[in-house]
A and B are shown apart, each in its own frame.
Chain A
Amino acid sequence: MQLWTIRPRALRVKGVLPGFGLTMGTTLLFISLVVLLPLSALLIQAASLSPGEFWRIISSERAVATYKLTLSSALIASIFNVFFGLLLAWILTRYQFPGRSLLDAIVDLPFALPTAVAGLSLAFLFTSHGWIGQYLEPMGIQVAYTQLGIIAAMAFTSAPFVIRSVQPVLEDMEPELEEAAAILGASPWQIFQGIILPTIMPALLAGFSLALARSLGEFGAIIFIAGNMPFETEITALLIMIRLEEYNYAGAAAIASVVLAAALVMLLIINLLQGRIYRARSDS
């Protein structure tokens, strides 16, 4: 790795365009209002607990069960979306077929739909009398009111992230790169994994991390299809909601701060990964 050729990016802040002070100031103000202020309110709430209490709440068996369920479901849903999203982005960029623009438009639907509506429709689809559920049930596959349902809801609401991250990169890929590889004797699979995949990797990772973040925070779509049984199908966001309904604000805040910390750590890791990929191919 050629570390010595990497110019420190921070030095590029002073550009030809004026207004750095103004834009940076405005940005910081907005970040403070929209992000930092609510977060500190949350932390202050949680801080009203003694460390012992705090620890007891966040490590309670029921809370830990929700972390495990939420995290594993979000990971599975996001990984599923990496494959599914890549496939869809591929089809949308590489092939011309009737209905292509319609499909392209439908991709954004999970963003436009109120998540409760998404959850309801999924529940209708997957209950034992639903369109899909009635066929899955006899095969022994229960989606509604199980973790599968949670994963389905998460995958549905976060699907556009991967597609929309990868699509522009695929569109911009020079066809010559694949042609050059083909002339050198590479098989289609070798071209895909050796040339195309490395090119879209940063975008794929970005899509993955966005989908993961969204899945961790998803609430509306999930509660309709998850059974919401404590220890079984209860996600962390629901537990927070329940604590709130019990007027246990400090308890809700304590659990929420765990979610917050987890989200931050995960985004940080993914950002570092991405930075490494981008830097390894610093475009001149």
Chain B
Amino acid sequence: MTIRFTNDHEWIKLDGDIATVGITDYAQQALGDVVFVEVPEAGRHLTKGKDAAVVESVKAASEVYAPVDGTVVEGNVALADEPSLVNTDPEGAGWFFKMKIKDMAHFEALLDEAAYKSFIAGL
């Protein structure tokens, strides 16, 4: 499984041709207690850099952008009842949605783990 990151603090994990997307531990810490997540429904077409999901804490709402172009295959319904999963397990059970990537080259071009780590170290 390969993992990539974006400057907007999303992670994207590839398994076969399906990619799982969520927000990073750094992002969930910055947001504080997550109280609500709106995930995209299956079949929706996503465009890189455009809104894909919304994550809310008590005093902030943030858009989660699509890391690459593609089509949603599944939204994480568990987050509706338990948005706190984003805080407790951001890179596991707190995933947002799964998507089929349109162009693998775009995935490869994202940050790898080391690059993301050094990116947040500089913030």
**Real complex partners, A and B?**
no
Give B residues with C-beta under 8 Å from A. Answer: none
Give A residues with C-beta under 8 Å from B. Answer: none
